């Protein structure tokens, strides 16, 4: 069935062979750069759990990303490269495919292939888009699906063929099975389609068919219970029941994010300002202004497209800022920056529109120079930070901590960078299969609970125990297991237990028992040399560097080498940054070893950055009570 009307008198655009050739050229150029800068192994953030899930057809963190797991798994069949490299390669492929479709989108709007080539490559080398093209993450596939959805409904609007509307609906359903971004974009897509159809009630049959195709795409979620029933090494949430599947797909485990920090209009506006800053720096600020000019030109000529592209950009950024209600520290900023990728895609389209306008109004050489700047400025500016071709921080950290533990150990970590690479190293690379990784899923793993006799378990713990039950679980574990237990942070343990430093880790030992002398630092191997410059702005690398320095500082304090300890602390802060949490940790460490003046300085500096921070105020008050 053909739609009844064509609002805005949109011209029918039929792509030709040269259009696809230009798009393919942009995609190939991007792919070659991604191959040159591709990470050879596991990286930070969620990379370790995602590679493991893709390799073993498992279940990663909510919402489970079933489409990504299946698509990335295909790349593990490649006959060359490590498993991690192959999954990283999937991101490069998905990102290059996104560049291909963005080039076609620019051709659709401008009929200018030169502008399409330059605009698409500007996206290819934008900061965050490129960063997620060279590591194992879900955002490259998410960007590809958004670009494909956009192209399909734009083509549908121009040609009025419902077959394209149905293709869009199926791709959109698949997108819902990949990332929650599509939930936010649903109203934008729906409003665009209804507006293009003139709110024609006679179109309900076409919409019903489209809705059924959306549901068909969503059926990919059936992967989660099927995968979970096989008990893979990554089985987050064990979503085998209908309720478990619903809870996982709707991210129930992370619902606390909505209310964990205070809310208010001022705070939300500040959050939007932070996200707007991410957006403006994706291409370099001058190039972002070119994009803004391109949007204005689009508004003057094709307002429907201008409104659509701006809505995609703003809705995703504003929606995730509201849902996540993020704090303003470095860790949260690293999380939030990825939600600007759809906005970067739309900005690349605007850059293409601006270049097409220039082609009509200035000389060819001036346009060529402007296009070269649009492509090479982000390429040069972002190369150093996005070149992961010699990145081994996460793998080396995981291998070092795993191999430093005693036989049959239980390893209870506190952060993703300490857990996920270790999961990958054990499940995929076969390193230390005897170790129980105690926190794979954001809660203590079932293998930890299994170490405690059934009669010693409290009913309220359940199969996914909350953090407030963890002290009781750890106490029961220490009383009933014969395994050595390690933590990534020192803990207050019940008598007769205490934690003793074991290099980067802390082992639970009985009070009065001595620990054998061991030079962990000489045993560790760091292919990046623990060089501050080698962190290259990578949040995980900087965090590992900071934790290493704090661990060395703790050892120096215990040996009464206070000057060395303070130097280690300052070196760590100099690389990771003087964040409220890192300053508080530094102050707490100094206070523990009676370095009162330094502790006070760190606490006061933290409070200057965030007045009234409760844990810092409490630590400062405790410091004043020290004898």
Place of tokens 């994706």: 282
- pLDDT tens digits, 543-585: 999 999 999 999 999 999 999 999 999 999 999 999 999 999 9
Q: Which domains does the chain have, with CATH numbers?
A: 7-386 (no CATH), 393-523 (no CATH), 532-625 (1.25.40.10)
Q: Are strands 497-502 and 505-510 parallel, antiparallel or unpaired?
A: antiparallel
As a whole-number percent, the residues of the chain with pLDDT over 70 amount to 97
| pLDDT tens digits along 574-596 | 999 999 999 999 999 999 999 99
Return the exposure string of 413-431: e unless at least 16 CB atoms fall within 10 Å of the residue's CB, then b. Answer: beebbbbbbbbbbbbbbeb
pLDDT of residue 4: 42
Q: CA distances (Å), 155 to each of 58, 354, 450, in order?
A: 36, 21, 56
Q: How many angstroms separate the CA atoms of 350 and 293, rounded?
A: 8
Taking the C-alpha atoms of residue 274 and residue 277, their distance in angstroms, rounded to an integer, is 5
Q: Is the pLDDT of residue 133 over 50?
A: yes
* Alpha helices in 302-389, H assignment, sequence order: 303-324, 330-336, 341-361, 364-386
Q: How many CA atoms lie within 13 A of 451 on its CB side?
A: 25
Q: Facing residues of 500 across strands?
A: 507
Structure tokens at 215: 């549901």
**pLDDT value for 256:** 81
| pLDDT at residue 362 is higher than 70 | yes
Q: Which residue has the tokens 């890192």?
A: 582
**The pLDDT value given to residue 1:** 38
Parallel, antiparallel or unpaired: strands 436-437 and 485-487: unpaired
d(CA 157, CA 108): 11
| Residue corresponding to tokens 């190939």 | 28
Handedness of CA 419, 423, 426, 432 (dihedral sign): positive
- What's the chain's average pLDDT? 93
Mind listing the pLDDT tens digit for each residue in 136-174? 999 999 999 999 999 999 999 888 789 999 999 999 999
Residue 115 to residue 106: CA distance in whole angstroms: 7
Summary count for the chain: helices (H), strands (E): 28, 5
- 247-272 average pLDDT score: 90
Look at residue 161 in the predicted model and tell me its pLDDT. Answer: 86
Question: Helix 139-159 and helix 341-361: axis angle, to 10°?
Answer: 50
Whether 374 shows a pLDDT value over 90: the answer reads yes
Alpha helices in 492-595 (DSSP H): 520-523, 539-558, 562-576, 580-592
pLDDT at 365 over 80: yes
Task: State pLDDT tens for residues 379-419.
Answer: 999 999 999 999 999 999 999 999 999 999 999 999 999 99
Taking residues 244-263, what's their average pLDDT?
A: 88
Tell me if 115 sits within 8 A of 352, measured CB to CB: yes
CA 501 to chain centre: 31
Residues 413, 489: Cα–Cα separation, whole Å: 8
Percent of the chain with pLDDT over 90: 85
Please report the pLDDT score of residue 160 as a whole number.
79
Rounded to two decimals, the pTM is: 0.94
Confidence of residue 9 (pLDDT cuts 50, 70, 90): very low
Report the pLDDT value the prediction gives residue 12, as an integer from 0 to 100.
Answer: 62
pLDDT band at 90 (very low <50, low <70, confident <90, very high): very high
> Cα(396)–Cα(413) distance, rounded to whole angstroms?
16
pLDDT of residue 3: 43
Residue 7: pLDDT above 60? no
């Amino acid at each position: 069935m053909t739609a009844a009307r064509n609002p805005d008198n949109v011209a029918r655009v039929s792509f030709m062979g040269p259009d696809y050739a230009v798009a393919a050229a942009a995609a190939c150029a991007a792919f070659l750069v991604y191959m040159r800068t591709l990470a050879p192994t596991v990286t930070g953030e969620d990379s370790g759990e995602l590679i493991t899930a893709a390799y073993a057809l498992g279940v990663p963190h909510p919402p489970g990303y079933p489409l990504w797991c299946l698509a990335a798994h295909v790349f593990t069949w490649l006959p060359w490269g490590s498993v991690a490299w192959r999954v990283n390669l999937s991101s490069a492929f998905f990102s290059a495919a996104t560049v291909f479709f963005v080039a076609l989108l620019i051709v659709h709007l401008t009929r200018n292939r030169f502008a399409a080539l330059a605009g698409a490559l500007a996206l290819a080398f934008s900061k965050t888009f490129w960063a997620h093209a060279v590591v194992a993450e879900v955002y490259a596939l998410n960007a590809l699906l958004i670009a494909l959805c956009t192209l399909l409904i734009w083509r549908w609007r121009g040609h009025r063929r419902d077959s394209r509307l149905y293709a869009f609906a199926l791709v959109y359903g698949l997108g819902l099975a990949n990332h929650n971004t599509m939930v936010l974009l649903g109203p934008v897509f729906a409003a665009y389609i209804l507006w293009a159809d003139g709110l024609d009630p006679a179109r309900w049959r076409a919409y019903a068919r489209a809705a059924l195709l959306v549901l068909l795409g969503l059926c990919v979620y059936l992967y989660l219970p099927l995968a979970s029933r096989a008990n893979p090494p990554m089985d987050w949430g064990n979503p085998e029941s209908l309720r478990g599947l619903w809870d996982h797909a709707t991210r129930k485990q992370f619902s606390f994010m909505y209310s964990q920090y205070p809310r208010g209009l001022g705070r939300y506006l500040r959050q939007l300002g932070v996200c707007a800053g991410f957006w403006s720096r994706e291409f370099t600020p001058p190039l972002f202004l070119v994009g803004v000019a391109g949007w204005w030109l689009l508004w003057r000529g094709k307002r429907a497209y201008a409104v659509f592209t701006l809505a995609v950009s703003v809705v995703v950024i504003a929606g995730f800022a509201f849902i996540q209600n993020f704090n303003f520290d470095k860790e949260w900023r690293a999380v939030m920056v990825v939600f600007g990728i759809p906005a970067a895609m739309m900005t690349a389209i605007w850059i293409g529109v601006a270049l097409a306008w220039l082609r009509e109004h200035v000389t060819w050489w001036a346009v060529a120079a402007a296009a070269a700047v649009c492509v090479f400025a982000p390429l040069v500016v972002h190369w150093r930070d996005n070149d992961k071709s010699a990145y081994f921080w996460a793998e080396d950290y995981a291998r070092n901590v795993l191999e430093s533990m005693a036989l049959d150990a239980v390893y209870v970590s506190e952060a993703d960078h300490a857990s996920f690479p270790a999961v990958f190293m054990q499940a995929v690379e076969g390193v230390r299969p005897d170790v129980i990784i105690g926190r794979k899923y954001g809660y203590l793993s079932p293998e930890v609970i299994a170490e405690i006799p059934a009669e010693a378990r409290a009913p309220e713990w359940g199969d996914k125990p909350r953090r407030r039950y963890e002290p009781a679980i750890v106490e029961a574990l220490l009383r009933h297991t014969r395994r050595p237990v390690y933590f990534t942070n020192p803990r207050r343990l019940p008598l007769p237990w205490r934690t003793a430093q074991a290099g980067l880790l802390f082992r639970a030992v009985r009070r009065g028992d001595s620990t054998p002398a061991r030079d962990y630092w000489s045993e560790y191997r760091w292919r990046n040399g623990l060089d501050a410059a080698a962190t290259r702005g990578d949040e995980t690398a900087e965090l590992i560097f900071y934790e290493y320095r704090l661990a060395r500082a703790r050892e120096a304090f215990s040996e009464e080498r206070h000057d060395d300890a303070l130097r280690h602390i300052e070196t760590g802060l100099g690389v990771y940054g003087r964040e409220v949490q890192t300053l508080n940790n530094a102050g707490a460490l100094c206070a523990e070893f009676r370095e009162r003046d330094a502790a006070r300085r760190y606490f006061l500096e933290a409070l200057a950055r965030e007045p009234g921070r409760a844990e810092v105020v409490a630590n400062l008050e405790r410091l004043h009570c020290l004898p």
